[in-house]
Amino acid sequence: MTPIDRLKKELTSLLQLPIRERMFEFAGLLTEYMASHNIKPVVVGGLAVELYTLNHYTTHDIDFISRGWEQFDKLLTEELGFSRTSRE
């Protein structure tokens, strides 16, 4: 099994989790996968605050900062099938 296939399988297993736990686990899986490619993303923004405050703040998205953004973007959009959306 390739690393990307393993990641896809792990991501699929998250669907059974409650949304908050799913977001934390998703961020962890992406961080671990990208670190294996020498890219170390950091969770910032609302999800970081939610973790820090033990869920006293809630968010609906995950914000990362990272070098190697092109590889991160390729992983999400081309390999995992996520699509870009905009807020209106």
Q: Is residue 85 part of a domain?
A: no
> What H or E segment, with its residue span, contains residue 64?
strand 63-65
**Region label for 60, one of left (φ > 0), alpha (ψ between -120 and 50) or beta (otherwise):** alpha
Q: Is residue 72 part of a domain?
A: yes
For the segment 24-82, what is each residue's pLDDT rounded down to a tens digit? 999 999 999 999 999 999 999 998 898 888 878 888 889 999 998 899 889 999 999 98
Q: Is residue 84 part of a domain?
A: no
Total structural domains within the chain: 1
Q: Is residue 71 part of a domain?
A: yes
- Count Cβ atoms below 10 Å from residue 57 Cβ, excluding itself: 13
- The pLDDT value given to residue 58: 85
Non-local (6+) Cβ contacts of 86 within 8 A are none
pTM, whole model, 2 decimals? Answer: 0.84
Q: What is the residue range of 8's domain?
A: 3-79
Q: Is residue 88 part of a domain?
A: no
Q: Is residue 87 part of a domain?
A: no
